[in-house]
Amino acid sequence: MKVSQDKIRNFSIIAHIDHGKSTLADRLIEKTGMLEKRELKEQVLDSMDLERERGITIKLKAVRLIYKAEDGEEYILNLIDTPGHVDFNYEVSRSLAACEGAVLVVDSTQGVEAQTLANLYLALEQDLEILPVLNKIDLPSSDVEYVKSEIENTCGLDTEGIPLVSAKSGLNIEDVLEDIVYNVPHPVGDVSKPLKALIFDSYYDSYKGVICFIRVFEGKVKTGTNIYMMNTKKEFEVTEVGYVQNERIQSKEITAGDVGYICASIKNVRDARVGDTITEVENKTEHALPGYKKVTPMVYCGIYPAEGEEFTQVREALEKLQVNDASLVFEPETSQALGYGFRCGFLGLLHMEIIQERLDREFDLNIIATAPSVIYEVMKNDGTFLEIQNPSNLPPATEIDYMKEPMVACEIMTPKTYVGPIMEICQNKRGVFENMEYLDEKRVTIHYLMPLNEVIYDFFDTLKSKTQGYASLDYDLKGYQESDLVKMDILINGELVDAFSLIVHREKAAQRARTIVEKLKKEIPRQQFAIPIQAAIGSKIIARETVSALRKDVLAKCYGGDISRKKKLLEKQKEGKKRMRQIGNVEVPQNAFLAVLKYDDDE
């Protein structure tokens, strides 16, 4: 189908969490007759369970809606979905870059919130036309006039004729569609120029290879086009182009102004990176689209099979996940305590948690993940420079001249009332205050320079809980800074357990050490001898607990000589041992690792 650009509208929906973004998207799809209501969850927003349960959108998607407007004309509305978490901010910015407009959903019972503003700014950075919409007007606590004035005053947007909707009941949904048709500018791109298209999403399909969602800015792309990725410099031949409507619908070509997908026998999403510009091999466009960023992992952790024998399964699972996730990296490593496993790199903590959960849910793998770590720079006395992402690989302190840690510039947007608690959290996390700006009478943006090491250690959760979820966090890597860092080891019965080793700031070491040894004491069952649990920096012990001795004689309960019962008990005890790790002559239950390695253990 050939469509002229003035009949196309490319838009995203943005909102603070829970303001009704997904519900509105479903309603728009339904109103344009694209899908049966009951099919929605399975098909279009065919998101992974995990995504749905956590209420976050991990993968970006694009759906094509055909809408017959009141003017009697038929329009193509390309709805481009955006994820909603700082770990994926880059992807949000790329999907917004594919649009001309954004529908800003504001819950009329809550008003403008931190993420409303954060998303609005992202959209304004891409020069998008913003269409505010008031949602949940069916609720008695809805205060349309107040929230309207808030949108005018804090967002600086005009609210005349703003659609007042209930995404839940479907009230006034046409107003939103009409608003999009009339107020989102239609694309303008020269079809006769060489191909220039933006990849705003890509995922791996086991039949077709990587499917790239693209926005064509200039020229056109069709089956057989030899394409060139301008940043990764890879070449491919297009095998299929099309749109997503009820399902993927093949088409002849995608032309300037339009949105769709292409397949080109691409084996790995690494070769079709979000943000890259696609052009033609033989007829290259002069400049790539701006904004491409190679996303590099910021957080690392070790992932080990919990049962030892599943190493190859873990590798296969990671390989499968990687095919679909350009930002996941891993390489094999070994740990004395945990055996063979992998060191994995992630965009951030949420990304790490998602991968860990997917290994569990989709691959049914029982894994142990070590504490997250960042990359440290180490200058040795002999002039050798090292990058360390596994604390176990840190050279002895005596060989180290100095160490540097990655710093991030944090931008925290919050209602004024939470400034005090936020500053306290940031100071606690070794943050250096930079400045604070008033967005309006009620809201501020606070800037802190913080060690990434502290940010990945439950900062986000603490921030959310101390501000009832009102503060939003965004962070950007800001280079390395020299810091007084030490390696802290944990010894169980005198044996160093490498999986527990941490790199921490000297001032934080004592506190962290206490929490870990206390946790371990609770988790390690008493055995026939006393077990000292120690935390040490070099040879200096900084915390200690002892699990006192106990003679656990399972046979003691069997008075009499029932031999078969005794046997049974011995068998049972053996079973129980399977879930143990042998550290020297101490048996440490799997749970002890899990308890300690969960990073919610201080403050």
Ligand X SMILES: Nc1nc2c(ncn2[C@@H]2O[C@H](COP(=O)(O)OP(=O)(O)OP(=O)(O)O)[C@@H](O)[C@H]2O)c(=O)[nH]1
Between residues 41 and 577, which has the closer beta carbon with respect to ligand X? Answer: 41
Between residues 84 and 372, which has the closer beta carbon with respect to ligand X? Answer: 84
Instruction: Write down the least CB distance from residue 237 to ligand X, Å.
Output: 37
Q: Which residues contact 36 (CB under 8 A, 6 or more apart)?
A: none
Q: Are 333 and 395 in contact (CB under 8 A)?
A: no
DSSP 35-66: S-GGGTTTTTT---HHHHHHT---S--EEEEE
The answer to whether the annotation marks 19 as part of a ligand binding site is: yes
Between residues 225 and 467, which has the closer beta carbon with respect to ligand X? Answer: 467
Instruction: Write down the least CB distance from residue 57 to ligand X, Å.
Output: 6
Instruction: Write down the least CB distance from residue 166 to ligand X, Å.
Output: 4
Between residues 116 and 392, which has the closer beta carbon with respect to ligand X? Answer: 116
Instruction: Write down the least CB distance from residue 20 to ligand X, Å.
Output: 3
- How would you write 459-523 as a 3-class SS string? HHHHHHHHCCCCCEEEEEEEEEEECCEEEEEEEECCEECHHHCEEEEHHHHHHHHHHHHHHHHHH
Between residues 461 and 484, which has the closer beta carbon with respect to ligand X? Answer: 461
The answer to whether the annotation marks 22 as part of a ligand binding site is: yes
The answer to whether the annotation marks 137 as part of a ligand binding site is: yes
Q: Which amino acid is at 233?
A: K
Spatial separation of the C-alpha atoms in residues 80 and 103, rounded to whole Å: 11
Long-range Cβ contacts of 248-251 (<8 Å, 24+ apart): 248/211, 251/1
Within a 10 A sphere around the Cβ of 467, how many other Cβ atoms? Answer: 20
Q: Are 11 and 184 in contact (CB under 8 A)?
A: yes
Instruction: Write down the least CB distance from residue 326 to ligand X, Å.
Output: 23
Between residues 172 and 334, which has the closer beta carbon with respect to ligand X? Answer: 172
Between residues 50 and 423, which has the closer beta carbon with respect to ligand X? Answer: 50
Spatial separation of the C-alpha atoms in residues 336 and 334, rounded to whole Å: 7
Between residues 15 and 77, which has the closer beta carbon with respect to ligand X? Answer: 15
Instruction: Write down the least CB distance from residue 25 to ligand X, Å.
Output: 8
Helix, strand, coil % (nearest 5) of the chain? 30, 35, 35
Spatial separation of the C-alpha atoms in residues 129 and 339, rounded to whole Å: 55
| Closest CA relative to residue 452, chosen from 363, 389, 393 | 389
The answer to whether the annotation marks 136 as part of a ligand binding site is: yes
Instruction: Write down the least CB distance from residue 146 to ligand X, Å.
Output: 17
Structure tokens at 215: 């926005």
The answer to whether the annotation marks 172 as part of a ligand binding site is: no
Spatial separation of the C-alpha atoms in residues 329 and 316, rounded to whole Å: 13
Instruction: Write down the least CB distance from residue 415 to ligand X, Å.
Output: 19
The answer to whether the annotation marks 602 as part of a ligand binding site is: no
Between residues 468 and 481, which has the closer beta carbon with respect to ligand X? Answer: 468
Q: How far is CA 341 from CA 199, 311, 319, 385, 487, in A?
A: 33, 7, 13, 26, 21
Instruction: Write down the least CB distance from residue 114 to ligand X, Å.
Output: 13
Between residues 106 and 408, which has the closer beta carbon with respect to ligand X? Answer: 106
Between residues 193 and 464, which has the closer beta carbon with respect to ligand X? Answer: 464
DSSP 126-183: TTPEEEEEEE-TTSTT--HHHHHHHHHHHH----TT--B-BTTTTBTHHHHHHHHHHH
| Closest CA relative to residue 429, chosen from 461, 400, 404 | 461
The answer to whether the annotation marks 18 as part of a ligand binding site is: yes
Within a 10 A sphere around the Cβ of 384, how many other Cβ atoms? Answer: 11
Structure tokens at 304: 């080990």
Interface residues toward ligand X, by CB under 6 A: 15, 17-23, 55, 84, 135-136, 138-139, 166-168
Instruction: Write down the least CB distance from residue 55 to ligand X, Å.
Output: 3
Instruction: Write down the least CB distance from residue 47 to ligand X, Å.
Output: 10
Give me Rg for the CA atoms of the chain. 28
Do strands 8-15 and 101-107 pair parallel, antiparallel, or not at all (unpaired)?
parallel
The H or E element containing residue 438 is strand 432-438
Q: Are 242 and 195 in contact (CB under 8 A)?
A: no
Between residues 51 and 440, which has the closer beta carbon with respect to ligand X? Answer: 51
Instruction: Write down the least CB distance from residue 30 to ligand X, Å.
Output: 13
In this structure, is the dihedral angle defined by the CA atoms of residues 476, 480, 486 and 487, taken in order, positive or negative?
Answer: positive
Structure tokens at 118: 């954060």
The answer to whether the annotation marks 23 as part of a ligand binding site is: yes
Q: Are 327 and 334 in contact (CB under 8 A)?
A: no
Between residues 28 and 76, which has the closer beta carbon with respect to ligand X? Answer: 28
Q: Helix or strand or coil: residue 353?
A: helix
Instruction: Write down the least CB distance from residue 115 to ligand X, Å.
Output: 8
Q: Which residues carry a binding-site annotation for GTP?
A: 18-23, 135-138
Q: Which residues carry a binding-site annotation?
A: 18-23, 135-138
